[in-house]
Chains A and B, each alone.
Chain A
Amino acid sequence: DIVMTQSPDSLAVSLGERATINCKSSQSVLYSSNNKNYLAWYQQKPGQPPKLLIYGASSRESGVPDRFRGSGSGTDFTLTITSLQAEDVAVYYCQQYYSAPYSFGQGTKLEIK
């Protein structure tokens, strides 16, 4: 089974500053036949279900602000929020859908400094 590990567990960033969340998989989630990474990022606010932000490691879902950027390949991935807004306070999760069980990272709680 693939284990997903996020860092840090929590993060405090000033408004307008950059926030960076890392996600590492215990084995590669890059599918060689199509050169796609099977990695997604979600945002979850209190009392709400998760919201898909990024899939394929770097493809932004429709309607997601362009300050959210996904990068990385293989086993190491990053979610960057380029200019933090107040509404970005949430817990962020990565998930691999390369092979079942489709595991999530433990989550990173993002707060305003």
Chain B
Amino acid sequence: EVQLVESGGGLVQPGGSLRLSCATSGFTFSRYSMNWVRQAPGKGLEWVSYIIGSGSTIYYADSVKGRFTISRDNAGNSLYLQMNSLRAEDTAVYYCARCLEDVRALLYWGQGTLVTVSS
């Protein structure tokens, strides 16, 4: 059974940093592209970042470029999102999501971790 479990969310002050983790199991992690998607309270989905299985290709939303860094540990089956210079508008539930094998649609999702940026 495929499982994605996010952790690392919490309350942080504006300008602060946070590192999210996504622990995975039930599939060969290195074979799949992974994403972070966020959802502000009561709002729609916003795609945040993508990383290919090897880690060699990475994309970001314009809203987080230069502040967030996606990475992965294929030996440890984990995905990460380092978030720096956090703003109030980064407040959201952050989901990690796995792509289909050869298609970048998002098949498996974690339950999400809440990040709140507030003083």
Contact yes or no, A97 B105, CB < 8 A: yes
From B47, B100, B105, B110, give the contact of A103 (CB < 8 A).
Answer: B47
Q: Which of A38, A52, A56, A107 is the one whose CB lies under 8 Å from B45?
A: A107
Chain B nearest CB: distance from A31 CB in Å?
11
- Residue count of chain A within 8 Å CB distance of chain B: 24
In the complex, the answer to whether A107 meets B44 with C-beta atoms within 8 Å is: yes
Majority SS of interface residues in chain A? loop
B62 in the interface (beta carbon within 8 A):
yes
| B110 CB contacts on chain A under 8 angstroms | 49
Between A and B, how many residue pairs show CB distances below 8 Å?
61
Instruction: Indicate if A95 sits at the interface (CB-CB under 8 A).
Output: yes
* Interface flags, B30-69, vs A, CB<8A=1, else 0: 0000010100000011110010000000011110000000
11 interchain pairs, CB-CB under 8 A: A38-B104, A44-B45, A49-B110, A50-B106, A50-B109, A51-B109, A52-B106, A55-B103, A56-B105, A93-B45, A104-B46
Kindly list the 9 A-B residue pairs having the minimum CB-CB distance in the complex, ordered from nearest: A100-B59, A49-B109, A97-B104, A55-B105, A40-B105, A107-B44, A104-B45, A102-B47, A101-B61
A residues contacting B by CB (< 8 A) are 1, 38, 40, 42, 44, 49-52, 55-56, 61, 91, 93, 95, 97, 100-107
